[in-house]
Chain A
């Protein structure tokens, strides 16, 4: 199924670029992109099975391919089918498995940033790092009670979008739980947050 799909895409886009795959999504790196046909994971460059697909048109070529490649071409799931390729030790935990990159938007900033939540151990570290990144802003930080940035006089509330799509205040749940459920961050201008009636500080804003 996917081999046909792959062919179709390549025919419609002569450059070999797969636009669907370059579309920004909020998924974790490595998560399969669900395409409209509900089919295979499609990388942004021609992978294995698609390359094989091209070759299968030529009878001579087909004979030359090893068994594993022919199997990969037949299977509906994409290139990872071939056992032992690439030749890298399986359990050597290199690679992005342990990264969790989320977008960070700051109201008023012209572009977004991305941070890897996995490298922090606590809210304090995350907020400090965000302050570094967006150094002209001050993030309202319940821990050390920094309220107003002297230079800009602007204050920001750290919020995040969770798995259910709701916007939450950063700091209410244990750190690990936050890392797991956070999809993106937004530093919201406090002036916008006025009227949200936040009376008590979040439970986990101090070291977790």
Chain B
């Protein structure tokens, strides 16, 4: 089980960061931020060879007394950082790698959301802007509202002139995935 999962933009600002327990949030923010040093180092050391092999998993970035920090970088240089409790000996490379892959898939879903602007923070707060859907039927968690199967996505803006914002359904799916990784005991 991970204690902190972060998605970091190419420009190194956090797109998403969640940790448990929440009272130590700040510590994890510092930890993840500092780990970017190693991520940068690994990416630059990786060079062409690993890019060609499509190895996205960066492995253990560095251990601390209580935690191990793992890294993963997508082809678009979005970074995933996961902090795992050191006492959890069950989580080894393969497990971590597969967790990152799951996370990557979930993140890809977020990117596929037509209402998500790449570079925006992935928000999942229930107070976030919601769409006023003109259609009575809501579709499942991976898509926004369509008027007919295969038809174009249609959603209204939260207020006229406002930009389209992230569909909350989509980010909730991502959030749920992160939650499952945090509570999952191997």
- Asked if A pairs with B, the answer is no
Residues in A lying within 8 Å of B, measured CB to CB: none
Residues in B lying within 8 Å of A, measured CB to CB: none
